[in-house]
């Protein structure tokens, strides 16, 4: 548990300092919305809404990847824009 976030939850991940955009922030999904939390200020910033059936979130470099039931969302933090790939069922 760090800054009130359970890093073992599949819907929470930590941005590593020095690993691109958002280093040191906590990224989490709550109520179909992706947020970034700045532990230094305690502020939460809403990044993306309407995330349906999320299963997990991870971050590498400037991209936050959200695994959902029927799609993969790559949210580019530098462009503040998502790219969505539909999964074939």
pLDDT at site 89: 64
Better-scored residue on pLDDT, 40 or 4: 40
Q: What is the pLDDT of residues 5-55, one digit of tens each?
A: 888 899 999 998 888 788 889 999 999 999 999 988 999 999 999 999 999
Nearest in space to 23 (alpha carbons), one of 73, 82, 77 = 77
Whether the pLDDT of residue 2 is over 60: the answer is: no
Structure tokens at 26: 């906590």
pLDDT of residue 8: 86
Residue 74 has pLDDT above 50, yes or no: yes
With a CB cutoff of 8 Å and minimum separation 6, the contacts of 78 are: 20, 21, 62
Which residues on adjacent β-strands are paired with residue 12? Answer: 28
Fold of 12-86: Thrombin, subunit H (2.40.10)
**pLDDT, mean of residues 45-69:** 96
Radius of gyration of the chain (CA): 12
Domain positions in the chain:
12-86
Query: What is the reported pLDDT for 47?
Result: 98
């Amino acid at each position: 548990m760090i800054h009130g976030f359970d890093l073992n939850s599949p819907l929470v991940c930590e941005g590593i300092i020095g690993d691109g955009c958002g280093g040191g922030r906590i990224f989490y999904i709550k109520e179909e919305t992706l947020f970034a939390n700045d532990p230094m200020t305690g502020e939460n910033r809403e990044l993306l809404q309407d995330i349906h059936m999320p299963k997990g979130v991870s971050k590498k470099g400037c991209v936050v990847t959200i695994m959902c039931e029927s799609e993969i969302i790559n949210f580019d933090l530098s462009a503040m824009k998502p790219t969505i790939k539909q999964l074939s069922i």
